[in-house]
Amino acid sequence: MKTLEYVRVEDQLPDQVAAPGGILDSANIVGMWFATDKQATGVVRLELRQHEDVLKVRALGAGTVEPYDWGEITATAYGSGVTAVDTMAFSAVYDFGFLVTILAAYAKQGILVLDTFNTFTDSSGRSNYFSREFFHR
Partner 1 sequence: MSNAMMTRVRDQLPAAGTRAALSIDLRPLMGGWVNYNENSTGINRVYIDDWEGTPTLRVFGASRPAPIDWGEVAGAAFADGVGGREAVGFTATYDLDFAQVLLAGYLNKRLLVLDAYSMFTDGSGRANYFQRDHFYLP
For partner 1, the binding residue among 9, 52, 109, 137 (CB under 8 A) is: 9
Cβ atoms of 40 and 34 within 8 Å: the answer is: no
Residues in contact with partner 1, counted by CB under 8 A, come to a total of 63
CA 41 to chain centroid:
19
3-class secondary-structure state, position 4: coil
Helix (H) or strand (E) holding 63: none
Task: Report, in Å, the least distance between residue 125 CB and partner 1.
Answer: 4
Cβ atoms of 135 and 37 within 8 Å: the answer is: no
Task: Report, in Å, the least distance between residue 65 CB and partner 1.
Answer: 11
Question: Considering only residues 53-72, where is the footprint of partner 1 by CB under 8 A?
Answer: 61-64, 68, 70
Side chain identity at residue 41, one-letter code: T
**Dist CA 129 CA 111 (whole Å):** 23
Task: Report, in Å, the least distance between residue 47 CB and partner 1.
Answer: 16
- For 116, list phi and psi in degrees, rounded to 5: -120, 140
For residues 49 and 120, which CB has a smaller minimum distance to partner 1 in the complex? 120
Residues that bind partner 1 in the complex, under the rule CB under 8 A = 4-11, 13, 18-22, 24, 41-44, 61-64, 68, 70, 76-85, 88-89, 91, 94, 96-99, 101-102, 104, 106, 115, 117-120, 122-132
